[in-house]
Structure 1
Amino acid sequence: MSSMKISGKQIFWMIATMEFGMSALLTISPTIVEAKQDAWIAMAVAAVIGIIITFVATKLSLLYPGQTLIEYSQTILGKWLGKLVVIPYLVMWYSVIAIILRQFTDFMVMNLLSRTPLLAVIIPMGLVVTIAASGGPQSLGRLSELVGPISYAMAFSMMFLLFRDLDNTAIFPVFVDTGLAAILKGALPEASFLGESIIIMMLVSFMSKPEQAPSRAIWGVAATSLLLICWIMITLMIFGAALASNMWFPIYDAARMISAMEFMQNLETLGIILWFFSVFIKMSLYLFVAGYGTAQWLGIKKWRYVLWSITFIVIIGAMIPRNIDRSSLDFPKTFWIPFVLPINMIAIPLLLWIVGLVRRRAERANT
């Protein structure tokens, strides 16, 4: 593990980069459907939820900074109960990799490769991600540190180029037409994606300075949230809530409208590049965590061999959804928001943190 150490700065860019792409692509439209012109407020609420989830996850991990979730769950709850409580995370990791791979493929086929068979995109992407994941968190941290600042600079630059097309009356009236219930409901999709920062529970043990985990991870979630709030407001001020709520990818459609000085056109290509790097880092991180976690759970020392078995499972899983509705709408509504958000992101980390604190205090009292 000493050869796979990562820094606090790399943790920041891993969180910030992996969370933006899929959140921007898949959650803005559902949020606008529920919260309408107050979607940006819903995003702010989601940011608070995401930061709280991140705080709990990092504080839990710092109880045993030299162990991953797979290890300290057994330290806290005992071997068998600790292994049992990790099963929801294994299910989450495997399923989300397959769904992200399918969502990536659906987007590429819909917008760029209309006559391409799904497997012609799924298999190469799966193999490339596996190779990246086999490099461990250090390689992914360096990649995030390189492409993260570039991606965020591109995202803010595209927003700047859209300023002349904005109609700020589209975000008014505030709160009156929606109300608290609609805003909270609209915050759930965004919160469930920002809550993916719980991946930190598998990464703290690789940090050279684990004490930096809370601040770096929280700032990563905050940076993502700020960027998403800006893009939601821009989307609303370009299309209005009614039109944006009926779009599959409103940010991508907004980027297609960029035209500056007559020669800066078709800049949605930059958006695709930005989104691709985010998705690539996210899938690679999830695959590493799934492979390393599965190996620890089963007691297998050579975790890289496990990656290829997972890739085979993931490729099969990516072919299961019949269409984009199943992968991009049904999965979040039927599994991600009702189960992963309350159980994997809130209940289990909170339970482990409380029990871990009690256990540590009892151990100190007995010494």
Structure 2
Amino acid sequence: MLKENLSLTQLLALLVNFLLGSAIVIGVGTEAKNDAWIAISAGSVCGVGILFFYLFFMSRLPGKNLFEIMEFCIGRKLSILLSFIYITYFLYTSSRIIRDFGELMASAIMPNTPIELISLSITMVIGYILYLGIEVLAALPRYLHPIFLAFYFY
């Protein structure tokens, strides 16, 4: 397995872009109206807290991934069950995101294009970026962050 390194600024940029992208597309904090920034900030604090929790375990168990850390902490059988739930949840979540984004693209931008083709295109782009590695994905916010901020504030 290749060892890929991210700087803290790259990790922060990935986190900020993920949160801003979700807030723009989904409309996070719609009930909060003018105070939606508080809802986004609270979610960010929770996310950063979980990140620091994971980083704490990674510093105590260097060289181990999330699944190996779970196995070390709670035992093999329970970690297999939790790993299966974790993987299933994120497969479901990612498929929902691709479907929702595909429907948004199909209804707003390309109404005559089948949603299957849009979803396949999105999946191929994601697969290619993942094939190139996390460092390439982490380099994208340098270019996309100003665009996201412009959409967010205007």
Which TM class, normalised by the smaller chain length?
0.7 to 0.9
Moved over 4 A (4+): none
CA distance in 2, matches of 1:117, 1:44: 37
1:14/1:141 contact within 8 Å kept = no
Task: State yes or no: 1:140 paired with 2:134.
Answer: yes
Aligned residue number for residue 18 of structure 1: 18
2:98/2:119 contact within 8 Å kept = yes
Going from structure 1 to structure 2, the CA distance change for 1:150 and 1:70 (only over 3 Å counts) comes to: same
1:70/1:86 contact within 8 Å kept = yes
Q: CA deviation at 1:41?
A: 2.6
CA distance in 1, matches of 2:38, 2:130: 36
CA distance in 1, matches of 2:126, 2:40: 30
Task: State yes or no: 1:56 paired with 2:56.
Answer: no
SS across alignment from 2:88: helix
2:67/2:83 contact within 8 Å kept = yes
Q: TM-score, normalised by structure 1?
A: 0.38
Aligned residue number for residue 290 of structure 1: none
Q: CA deviation at 1:72?
A: 1.4
One-letter code of the match for 1:35?
A
Pairwise CA RMSD:
2.3
Going from structure 1 to structure 2, the CA distance change for 1:107 and 1:113 (only over 3 Å counts) comes to: same
Q: CA deviation at 1:78?
A: 1.6
1:13/1:141 contact within 8 Å kept = no
Aligned residue number for residue 44 of structure 2: 47
CA distance in 2, matches of 1:45, 1:129: 28
Query: What percent identity do the matched residue pairs reach?
Result: 20
CA distance in 2, matches of 1:72, 1:54: 14
Aligned residue number for residue 107 of structure 1: 104
Give aligned pairs, total.
Answer: 153
Going from structure 1 to structure 2, the CA distance change for 1:91 and 1:150 (only over 3 Å counts) comes to: same
CA distance in 1, matches of 2:12, 2:35: 28
CA distance in 1, matches of 2:27, 2:101: 14
One-letter code of the match for 2:77?
W
1:281-331 deviation line (CA, Å, top 9, x unaligned): xxxxxxxxxxxxxxxxxxxxxxxxxxxxxxxxxxxxxxxxxxxxxxxxxxx
One-letter code of the match for 2:147?
M
How do 1:241-260 residues align onto structure 2 when only pairs under 5 Å count? none
One-letter code of the match for 1:25?
V
How do 1:210-221 residues align onto structure 2 when only pairs under 5 Å count? none
Q: CA deviation at 1:108?
A: 0.8
1:251-273 deviation line (CA, Å, top 9, x unaligned): xxx5xxxxxxxxxxxxxxxxxxx
How do 1:75-114 residues align onto structure 2 when only pairs under 5 Å count? 75-114=72-111
CA distance in 2, matches of 1:21, 1:37: 18
1:17/1:144 contact within 8 Å kept = no
SS across alignment from 2:5: coil
